[in-house]
Amino acid sequence: MASILRFPREARVGQRPILLSPPELSGNELDEVAQTLRSGWLAPAGPTLAAFEQAVAASMQAPEALALNSGTAALHLAYRVLGVAPGDEVWTTTLTFIATIAPAVQMGATPRFLDVCPQSWTLDPARLRRELAAAARRGRLPRVVVPADLFGQPSDMPAIRAACARWGVPVLSDSACAMGGLQHGRPAGAGADMSVVSFNGNKIITTGGGGALLGDPALLARARHLAHQAREVAAHYQHETTGHNYAMGSVTAAIGLAQLPELERRVIARRAIFRRYQEALGHLPGITFMPEPGWARSSRWLTAMVVDPQRFGADRELIRMALAAQGIESRPVWKPMHLQPAFRDAPRSGGAFAAGLFEDGLCLPSGSGLEAAEQGRVIDAILGVARRG
């Protein structure tokens, strides 16, 4: 990982660097991969891939899953299936990762960025209702609304769905980093028209790289067609439209099959890591942690804390640099989309709350394989800054 290379030279030798969210193995990957190789199925088809898709759909309580080579590809296919076209608006939260919106922008859509709510750091249903009513008055409703499940915190799907249903606007849930999270007792993204998960190297379930699109079989059949170069059924190559090469290979799916049974254990591990940070640091003046609304169980994919520099006596950057000096990776809360030069002119609704989180927020090492002694090093380093501050 590039981040290892960026650690300063003075990082203590002999101690393993502590990363934000490194991949963890279940131990069954080699067996699953060997079995798949022996079966002769290497192509993006066959029993391993089908079994993985079924397991992913079951774990997300979705009617069907389409395994793809990234979460970004899944988002792109969703936008195609939903008919996003030049001039359309696509709405998402400003506090997300760029992959949520990049494919829609590349298709000629105009993004509109909505602020998140303080109770969840995800899409604010009240703001969404207001903005949809205003858009209806303007006569320019969005083609799709895309709530993003930040740091493993699911979005409030019943409220978002109800707001969108009133105007007939579909919901695409970017649950890329929220596998294992629950909202109103259901998995992240459940209840949306379509949703997306990612198996990127830093996610809670990883295949090294990959993703899935979830939704009803009719929408997914179209997405599956596009994912395989939009090949029509014919002996020769026949195409009514252009597609993509987005399918997941069987060996990758085998890794995913070995990983999936670990999901619940990993959520419990990440939640325990969050609690330990909160117990060890939550009493410090000026330190608060990402909230969790009563209707949600965050996967706590990443622990995020907010540093009030006045009350804490040091700012977020001082903490981040103190951690880096000890070989510990941390990362500012994602920079909101409305502050990204790429989206300088995009319309938005609010953004001050997300901007504050970017200013003062820090994500701490949260991997499900993080050992107690390693987490102790992170905590001690932050306590050290508190004493100096």
So which residues are the catalytic ones? Answer: 203
Which is closer to ligand PLP, CB of 21 or CB of 110?
21
Structure tokens at 20: 């934000």
Give every CB contact of residue 239 below 8 A, 6+ residues apart in sequence: 229, 230, 231, 232
Applying CB under 6 A, does 97 fall inside the site for ligand PLP? yes
Applying CB under 6 A, does 32 fall inside the site for ligand PLP? no
Q: Which residue has the tokens 């009133």?
A: 166
Applying CB under 6 A, does 70 fall inside the site for ligand PLP? yes
Applying CB under 6 A, does 343 fall inside the site for ligand PLP? no
In this structure, what are the phi and psi dihedrals at residue 164, rounded to the nearest 5 degrees? Answer: -75, -35
Comparing every residue's Cβ against ligand PLP, the nearest one is 71
Which is closer to ligand PLP, CB of 176 or CB of 190?
176
Using the rule CB under 6 A, give the single segment among 16-24, 96-104, 213-221, 288-296 that binds ligand PLP.
96-104
Applying CB under 6 A, does 211 fall inside the site for ligand PLP? yes
Where does residue 256 rank: exposed (0-12), middle (13-18), buried (19+ CB within 10 A)? buried
Among positions 19, 49, 82, 99, the unique one binding ligand PLP when judged by CB under 6 A: 99
Which is closer to ligand PLP, CB of 153 or CB of 326?
153
CB of 210 to ligand PLP, least distance (A): 7
Applying CB under 6 A, does 174 fall inside the site for ligand PLP? yes
CB of 135 to ligand PLP, least distance (A): 24
Applying CB under 6 A, does 177 fall inside the site for ligand PLP? yes
Contacting positions for ligand PLP (CB under 6 A): 70-72, 96-97, 99-100, 148, 174, 176-177, 198, 200, 211
